[in-house]
Amino acid sequence: MSRNLDQSRALQKRAEQLIPGGVNSPVRAFRAVGSDPPYLVRGLGAHVWDADGNRYIDYVGSWGPLILGHSNPGVLEAIIQAARNGTSFGASTPTEADLAALVVEALPAIEKVRFVSSGTEATMSAIRLARAATKRKFIVKFEGCYHGHSDALLVKAGSGVATLGIPGSAGVPEEFVEFTLALPYNDVEAVEAAFAKFKGQIASVIVEPVVGNMGCVPPKPGYLAALRDITKREGALLIFDEVMTGFRVAFGGASELYLIKPDLTTLGKIIGGGLPVGAYGGPAEIMDLVAPVGPVYQAGTLSGNPLAMAAGIAALGELKANRQQFYRQLDEMSGKLVAGVTATAKEAGVAMTANRVGSMFTFFFTDKQVTDWESAATCDTPKFGRFHGALLDAGVWLPPSQFEAGFLSIAHTQGNIHDTIAAAREALTLV
């Protein structure tokens, strides 16, 4: 079955005259899957509709924030009520502390939190804070982990960078990444070697505790604990980038799931209920280095925007009230989806492995277990592109990149899972 995309193609052509590539984030161009990008105009529950009237079961969920599904009534009502009082003030509002209280309660590693407008701002600010706290220059990140597009972190960054086949980015001088050490993920020995070589010089280790930007890649048993032990021993700060995993893999994020207490945590996505937001937090003694209390400067006109705060309060409130039911449901449904699709791949004789942590998942077109960027890079990306296109024709929307995680919401039903597995069975005959 082929879809009519006449309106979407016309909209893309118009956008290309006004916006680079016609998109405001590269993966939306669908170049990695070799197809035309549908233009979405509406979402409800587990579904989205494009400008041509095609309906899709959505496993992107705005790249993770919509854990409650599209157009959640409680979140929408909170946004409407907040908007009636004004969209932005550039001044403090009561809801900032209300959302902060929910975050602090959920994540024991955070005593104080600062809100920003994006995950990029959050990770950039956390790195600056770590350098100030330790008075050191070097930072460790991991190949395939994406921490936003700030210069110092755009090194072997996975995700959209991997999709486009770019090792870093033009416009980033070598001097800007001189103090960034990019190591293989899930390799403790590499971390030990880096700390031995740069003794007393590494300010922080920043990691996606569950990687989502080379596809979903979980930590090996003991890996995160080893990072915690090494950084504590060496006087460096451990930063968990939980922009994606926060309130996703568990209510308390990966920190709760793996029982690891980082020094700093960055958040985003779910804490804004689908509106632009980011945050970074940690112990009061570290966070009080941030201006106006301390010497680390960071500011933002729209930080703590009242609409995002209201949406976040509504989303986290609903998750908190139903946490046991919701996270059990998400895990069960995601397990059925991944098991069903991988079983159909095996029946079809197609090389596919899958990773899943809670409601994050990725289908990898390789016969290797994906544990790091090197193994992720063995994927047959043209085959994934054909699979992706066939699923779109069948009304199923997966992330348009082999190197991105997919997400379920509590709005997905058993029927959605059944239909997706059936669509995958047909799609796998076409790859």
For the annotated catalytic residues, the residue numbers are 146, 241, 269
Residue 88 CA to residue 164 CA, distance in Å, equals 36
- CA-to-CA distance for 305 and 347, rounded, in angstroms? 50
Please spell the DSSP secondary structure of 327-392, one letter per residue.
HHHHHHHHHHHHHHHHHHHHHHT---EEEEETTEEEEESSSS---SHHHHTTS-HHHHHHHHHHHH
Asked if residue 309 lies in contact with residue 96, where contact means CB atoms within 8 angstroms, the answer is yes
User: How many whole angstroms separate alpha carbon 131 and alpha carbon 50?
Assistant: 45
Alpha helix segments (H runs only) across 250-352: 253-258, 284-287, 306-321, 323-348
DSSP codes of every residue in 164-227: HT-SS-TT--GGGGTTEEEE-TT-HHHHHHHHHHTTTTEEEEEE-SSB-SSS-BPPPTTHHHHH
3-state secondary structure of 292: coil
Helix/strand/coil for 55: strand
> Going edge to edge, which strands form the sheet with 47-50?
40-44, 47-50, 55-58, 396-397
Residue position matching structure tokens 């500011």: 299
The letter for the amino acid at 172 is V
Q: Cα angle vertex 218, ends 213, 224, to 5°? A: 110
In whole angstroms, what is the distance from residue 108 CA to residue 186 CA?
A: 25
Question: Nearest 5°: phi and psi at 95?
Answer: -70, -20
Pair 194, 187: CB distance under 8 Å: no
CB 402, CB 365: distance < 8 Å: yes
Annotate 59-124 with DSSP letters as a single string: SSTTTTT-TT-BT-HHHHHHHHHHHHT-S--SS--HHHHHHHHHHHHH-TT-SEEEEESSHHHHHH
φ, ψ (nearest 5 deg) of residue 335: -60, -40
Q: What order of strands is seen across the sheet that includes strand 264-268?
A: 112-116, 278-282, 264-268, 237-241, 202-207, 138-142, 180-183
Strand pairing partners for 250? 246
The residue assigned the tokens 């680390």 is 296
